[in-house]
A and B are shown apart, each in its own frame.
Chain A
Amino acid sequence: MIELHNIEKVYKKNDQTIRAVDGVNVSIDKGAIYGVIGFSGAGKSTLLRCVNLIERPTSGEVKLDGEDLTQLPKSKLRKERRRIGMIFQHFNLLESKTVYQNVAFPLLLDGQKGKQVEGKVKELLEFVGLADQAGKYPEELSGGQKQRVGIARALVRSPEVLLCDEATSALDPQTTDSILDLLRQIREEYHITILMITHEMQVIREICDRVAVMEDGKVIEEGTVFDIFSSPKHQTTKNFVSSVMNDKIPESILQALDSTRHVYRVTFLREQASEPILYRAATQHHVEVNVLYGQITELQGEPFGSLIVEFIGGEKEIFKALHSIQQSVTVKEVTRDAS
């Protein structure tokens, strides 16, 4: 659906060259919710704006269904932008227009009038739960309501792609959850591909299928949310994961480790979690298992567990037990120096 090839964005500021985006390649499948996470200044916001060319990349290709948007003349590009809705951290609603007029605004730009506009706007206000607020002005709304107006406005032309620029960063946790629910609903009902940038790992955890971690303009790690959460490789990624997972092994446990003990991190997802895998392996191979630490949380609405488990028994038996567990879950040895 969306393919970004070698995107580079270079700024010149006071004789300094700033590489905001430095050779990014991203491929997003139709209907996916794709997250880009990074600290502020990582270049994710610039990258997002390169997708609808509000920021023109210095070099690289932006392909939407195989068509390179960077090659289009301005008028054609404007037409293509109708296929891409966008919502913003600070909502960016027209203050001088009512909720209804804000949602109708993109249609007004297209020169549409009358019953059709009214039907579409009402449908979307209904969808975002603001049907009774149509006559209000943005300044009379709460942050969450403003974002709902933003979402309705972005969807009014039935786009195929929705770009979310830190859409929940200005909202409190509860409102964030309700907006994320709404985004999930959008994917289900409208089959829209969503690209979102954020600095909040719980947003990624809640709704993304895949995630790219950005630092200094580059994508340093990319993969399914499960992979990133279960085995983050880069230190920055680890920091993001532990910001929501609390999966750092406590010092007390690390201190007690030595080469004679067999301690492993076991991560699992979904139905794996419902099976007594550890118990079965233990009884089958005659080893004892002892859960030292860990937690089970939700990843995209599915249970996701990360446990620190000690295996006690003969070397051979433990090896066999691990082997059988590895068929269905991810297992990694824990040593004292590497957490």
Chain B
Amino acid sequence: MQVDLATFWPKILEATQETIVMVAIALLFAILIGLPLGISLVVTRKNGLLENGPLFKVLNGIVNFFRSIPFIILLVAILPITRFIVGTSIGTAAAVVPLVFFSAPYIARLVESSLLEVNPGVVEAAESMGATPWQIIYRVFLPEALSSLVLNITIATIGLVGASAMAGFVGGGGLGDLAISYGYQRFETNVMIVTVILLVVIVQTVQTLGNYISKAVRRR
């Protein structure tokens, strides 16, 4: 029994919107957490600007811990935390919390690798000028790594789109949920095809946009 796509269309639109909102909000918070975390991983490491072995080990351990939990398990495991933060454990808002927990450590790692690409000689030059660690972070590390940061955040965004498909488990909705509940569980091939096409379009758009911005901030 196939659904009529014409009447089903509003549902697809709504799901698309949910996916975009979920990803956008989760991305925002994941960057807010992941960026400082990634910077901390770079500056506290051995021979870093603010070398701090114990702190580095703790942060490194936390990031690895969250990165090793499959998203579907994380989603359920942190339900109490989700309820504490957003007041409910179901719905789109409730899906955002585990998405942030999933994405922030990932972004931290990506930020870390972007910043490690910055020429240590330039950091040394800034130190020789008497720059404070904070000045080196926001005047040297971040601008010098900006292009690479944009590309890495693009990767993280696409990862989020993928993870958001599982948000249906907590009633988060979105395209992935639609694909699973209608396309997969009810064998609605049409729905499956349309949602997959839409996901492909979203991913392509995000990647193209990311490439474009990365190039634009890369000087000329």
Q: How many A-B residue pairs lie within 8 Å, measured between CB atoms?
A: 59
Q: A86-B125, A90-B121, A109-B139 are in contact. Are A95 and B130 (CB under 8 A)?
A: no
> In the complex, are the beta carbons of A137 and B219 less than 8 A apart?
yes
Q: Which residue among B131, B146, B147 has the maximum number of chain A CB atoms within 10 Å of its CB? A: B131
| Cβ 8 A contact of A95, one of B124, B127, B129, B219 | B219
Minimum Cβ distance to chain A for residue B122 (Å): 5
Q: Which chain B residue shows the least CB distance to A78? A: B130
Contact A92–B130 (Cβ < 8 Å): no
B interface residues, how many (CB within 8 angstroms): 21
- Residues in B with CB closer than 8 Å to A79 are 130
**Contact among B122, B135, B220 for A94, CB-based, below 8 A:** B122
Give A169 to B97 CA distance when docked, in angstroms: 54
| Residues of chain B lying within 8 A (CB to CB) of residue A52 | 128
* The residue from A84, A88, A96, A137 contacting B125, defined by CB atoms under 8 A apart: A88
Q: What bracket does the count of chain A residues touching chain B fall in? A: 20 to 34
Interface 0/1 of B142-159, CB less than 8 Å to A: 011011000000000000
Interface of B: prevailing SS: helix
Asked if B175 is at the interface (CB within 8 A of a chain A CB), the reply is no
The answer to whether the Cβ of B42 comes within 8 Å of any Cβ in the partner chain is no
Cα A95 to Cα B220 in complex, Å, equals 11
A80 to B130, CA, bound (A): 8
Q: Which of A54, A90, A97 contacts B128 (CB 8 A)?
A: A54
A109-B130 in contact (CB<8A): yes
How far, in angstroms, from A109 to B121 measured CA to CA in the complex? Answer: 17
Q: Is B132's beta carbon under 8 Å from chain A?
A: yes
Answer whether residue B119 sits at the interface, using C-beta atoms and an 8 A cutoff: yes
Q: Taking the complex as formed, is B140 at the interface, i.e. its CB lies under 8 A from any CB of chain A?
A: yes
Query: Could you tell me if A86 and B139 are in contact, using CB atoms closer than 8 angstroms?
Result: no
Secondary structure call for the A interface = mixed
1/0 per residue, CB under 8 A from A, across B94-133: the answer is 0000000000000000000000000101101111111110
- Residue A44 lies at the interface, judged by CB distance under 8 Å to chain B: no
Per-residue contact bits, chain A 74-85, to B (CB 8 Å; 1 contact, 0 not)? 000111111010
Identify the interface centre among B129, B131, B135, B219: most chain A CB within 10 Å of its CB: B129
Assembled-state Cα–Cα distance A294/B147 (Å): 58
Contact among B122, B135, B143, B146 with A109 in the assembled complex (CB-CB below 8 Å)? B135
B195 to A: closest C-beta gap in Å: 40
Determine the chain A residues whose CB is within 8 A of the CB of B220 once the complex forms: 137
User: How far does the Cβ of B214 sit from chain A's closest Cβ, in whole Å?
Assistant: 12
Q: Do B219 and A86 touch across chains, with their CB atoms under 8 A apart? A: no
For the complex, what is the distance from the CA of A78 to the CA of B127, rounded to whole Å? 8
Q: Which residues of B contact A86 (CB under 8 A)?
A: 125, 128-129
- What does the 1/0 interface line of A85-110 toward B look like (CB < 8 Å)? 01010101111110000000110110
Q: Which residue of A lies closest to B147 (CB)?
A: A96
How many whole Å from B6's CB to the nearest CB in chain A? Answer: 51
Query: Which residues of A are found within 8 Å of B128, using beta-carbon distances?
Result: 52, 54, 81, 84, 86, 163
A139 / chain B contacts, CB cutoff of 8 Å? 219
> Which residue among B125, B139, B219, B220 has the maximum number of chain A CB atoms within 10 Å of its CB?
B125
Taking CB atoms, residues of chain A closer than 8 Å to B143 are 94, 96-97
Smallest CB-CB separation from A96: which chain B residue? Answer: B143
Which residues of chain A in 135-165 are interfacial with respect to chain B, using CB atoms and an 8 Å cutoff? 137, 139, 163
Is the CB–CB distance between B144 and A92 below 8 Å? no
Q: Which A-chain residue is minimally distant from B145 (CB atoms)? A: A96
Q: How far is the CA of A96 from the CA of B140 in the complex (A)?
A: 9
Beta-carbon contacts under 8 Å, A47-87 to B: 52, 54, 77-82, 84, 86
CB nearest to B144 among chain A residues = A96
Interchain nearest-CB distance for A145 vs B (Å): 16
| A139 to B119 alpha-carbon distance, docked (Å) | 14
Chain A hits for B130, CB < 8 A: 77-82, 109
User: A106 contacts B144, CB within 8 Å?
Assistant: no
CB nearest neighbor in A for B140: A94
CA–CA, A145 and B190, complex, Å: 62
Name the CB-closest residue of A to B217: A96
In the A-B complex, list the 7 residue pairs whose CB atoms are closest, starting with the nearest.
A81-B130, A78-B130, A92-B121, A92-B125, A86-B128, A96-B143, A106-B129
A/B interface sample: 11 pairs, CB < 8 A: A86-B125, A92-B119, A92-B121, A94-B144, A95-B219, A96-B143, A96-B146, A96-B219, A97-B143, A109-B129, A109-B130
Known: A54-B128, A137-B219. 10 other contacts (CB 8 A): A54-B127, A81-B128, A82-B130, A92-B125, A93-B122, A96-B147, A105-B139, A108-B139, A109-B129, A109-B131
